[in-house]
Structure 1
């Protein structure tokens, strides 16, 4: 009898929840999930007209597909009959954070893309409620990405087989990122004319830059020697790209990232080994060598100085060394 009584209460409670959800859906504008999906195509077209980088457009599509997969497989929604609601999006955040225990960075990337689309829906009056305001980014601890030590960098540089084109290309990519901190997708889209071997510079064109702003990066003599060899290979294969795939087209950044991770496992580096980590390593080494943070910001292509700060990870021994060099008290006690 007790079980029957409990089930009865649970049923009533479920009915109440359904009533609340229906009322909430009515207040939110009665947009079906299918309509929500269809409008995403218009959103993408608008973003293309705004001049968003192809990589950013690709990321929006990829992350939206992840959300759609969650809707079908986790929530088991009937997209033609079920409606979007405030709870519809908050449950996605809850699922990633508490059910799957994704890292804060992963959650925030997915939420940022979704918030962008939701804000677009509201601004264009497709919804009467701005759902993007309901999705708050997860707080993440600072300094979670650590640069590679010199020892591990050398191990990574020895990993690619430079007797093959792919190995030589990946070795060169490692050197270039360590030399000027360029983003991997900017590097993969580098055309032969972007490299000035005489002036020892690499131009990141505005259309491939993440911030849509062009910048010129200085290169070391070693980088120029490697780039000259790659350019000769590209020319002989009639490819406009400096860093080619096997088909003479540009190599994909995700392919390079997977290769880096494979190299790390091969040589026994326990830390993360990705082009992104190499970029962090460049930033930290630059500050250790005396580069001021404003110069570093310009080289790395950051709009905000706070973003540059997140890339610089100094160990305690580095802080002690810089403090001793400053000798702020010694000037008073001479």
Structure 2
């Protein structure tokens, strides 16, 4: 496969400007490389500057579909190419995106899992038990897990959080999100108490850094000196989820789902939740309303009973179509 210099620049843009996770960056750059290699050499040169007919995008997606790829995989290719045009605009391209004329593949929605309040508290209690053991790693882990529980931050936002961005006096944490957009998250009293303890008793004993969370076990001569990384956080989330005997999958982003649904279940307006999560569109936040509506349906079914066998079969047939 031919390597295109523009893809390297695209990768840097995704990391430095859109602040995407390394896995997403790898996928997006791979998909764009596949598209450029699909084109004839002269077409690929024009595409690297933004000039390519919409029909070529459609043909590429069609060829990928003929290879037997799932609609969800094709959808990710479409997202990657859209991100590529955002990058080209960032570099000065001022023309329209041909992808605006290409309908995105429609994948079945992926179920969003959240923790119940009891599950979330059980996992946090497992982390607190580790902190009570007195090790700096256990205490560090507890502060991180509390951050996931009480703020709804993305994994990358937690990694990049600075000490100066935490204002306990005003109960605020400022994070740098996608598209380098800053947002300020109000903090509950329970979290403020945990972080007062962390800053006074734990953080001074961690590697020196301007970052809020500096992994105490990071190689002092390595890449993550004075910082932490995504895989460390993922392993941490899995460990305490399993310690609490809570069913998986355990992922950092599941805590973000939990934060959103926890607020909505307690009657917080969806527009407020949108601002807290840093979503650019309320449509994204509205996905969580489906989880809340499931709660309401479950309550009605509990009160009035399940559907009759005939009605259940009909409902299953409708869902299958």
Mark yes or no: TM-score above 0.5.
Answer: yes
CA contact (8 A) 1:146 1:277 kept: yes
- Shift of residue 301, structure 1, vs aligned partner: 1.0
Determine which of 282, 286, 305 is the counterpart of 2:263. 286
Structure 2 counterpart of 1:234: 203
CA contact (8 A) 1:234 1:240 kept: no
> Kindly tell me: are residues 125 and 278 of structure 1, through their superposed partners in 2, closer, same or farther at Cα, counting changes over 3 Å?
closer
CA contact (8 A) 2:162 2:211 kept: yes
Please tell me whether residue 169 in structure 1 is matched to residue 140 in structure 2: yes
Deviations 1:238-289 (A, max 9, x none): 2211111224522113321233134334444333221211111111111121
- Shift of residue 192, structure 1, vs aligned partner: 0.9
CA contact (8 A) 1:239 1:249 kept: yes
Structure 1 counterpart of 2:292: 314
CA contact (8 A) 2:29 2:80 kept: no
- Shift of residue 43, structure 1, vs aligned partner: 3.8
Per mean C-alpha deviation after superposition, the further-off stretch among 309-318 and 57-66 is: 57-66
Structure 2 counterpart of 1:155: 122
CA contact (8 A) 2:257 2:288 kept: yes
Please tell me whether residue 299 in structure 1 is matched to residue 276 in structure 2: yes
CA contact (8 A) 2:172 2:187 kept: yes
CA contact (8 A) 2:161 2:212 kept: yes
- Shift of residue 39, structure 1, vs aligned partner: 2.5
Q: What CA distance in whole angstroms lies between the structure 2 residues aligned with 1:124 and 1:52?
A: 12
Q: What CA distance in whole angstroms lies between the structure 2 residues aligned with 1:261 and 1:121?
A: 38
CA contact (8 A) 1:283 1:296 kept: yes
Structure 2 counterpart of 1:221: 189
Determine which of 9, 17, 20 is the counterpart of 1:56. 20
> Kindly tell me: are residues 309 and 40 of structure 1, through their superposed partners in 2, closer, same or farther at Cα, counting changes over 3 Å?
same
Deviations 1:19-62 (A, max 9, x none): xxxxxxxxxxxxxx63x6232234456x479x713x33845641
Please tell me whether residue 183 in structure 1 is matched to residue 154 in structure 2: yes
- Shift of residue 203, structure 1, vs aligned partner: 1.4
* RMSD over aligned Cα atoms: 4.1
SS in 2 for 1:202: strand
> Kindly tell me: are residues 191 and 202 of structure 1, through their superposed partners in 2, closer, same or farther at Cα, counting changes over 3 Å?
same
SS in 2 for 1:227: helix
Determine which of 65, 72, 75 is the counterpart of 1:108. 75
SS in 2 for 1:217: strand
CA contact (8 A) 1:116 1:132 kept: no
Please tell me whether residue 243 in structure 1 is matched to residue 213 in structure 2: yes
CA contact (8 A) 1:180 1:282 kept: yes
Structure 2 counterpart of 1:8: none
Q: What CA distance in whole angstroms lies between the structure 2 residues aligned with 1:119 and 1:298?
A: 23
- Shift of residue 118, structure 1, vs aligned partner: 6.1
- Shift of residue 67, structure 1, vs aligned partner: 4.1
Per mean C-alpha deviation after superposition, the further-off stretch among 225-234 and 288-297 is: 225-234
SS in 1 for 2:185: strand
CA contact (8 A) 1:192 1:231 kept: no
Structure 2 counterpart of 1:16: none
Structure 1 counterpart of 2:303: none
Please tell me whether residue 144 in structure 1 is matched to residue 121 in structure 2: no
> Kindly tell me: are residues 70 and 56 of structure 1, through their superposed partners in 2, closer, same or farther at Cα, counting changes over 3 Å?
same
Question: TM-score by structure 2 length?
Answer: 0.67
SS in 2 for 1:314: helix
Unaligned runs of 5+ in 1: 1-32, 72-76, 323-334
Q: What CA distance in whole angstroms lies between the structure 2 residues aligned with 1:166 and 1:261?
A: 15
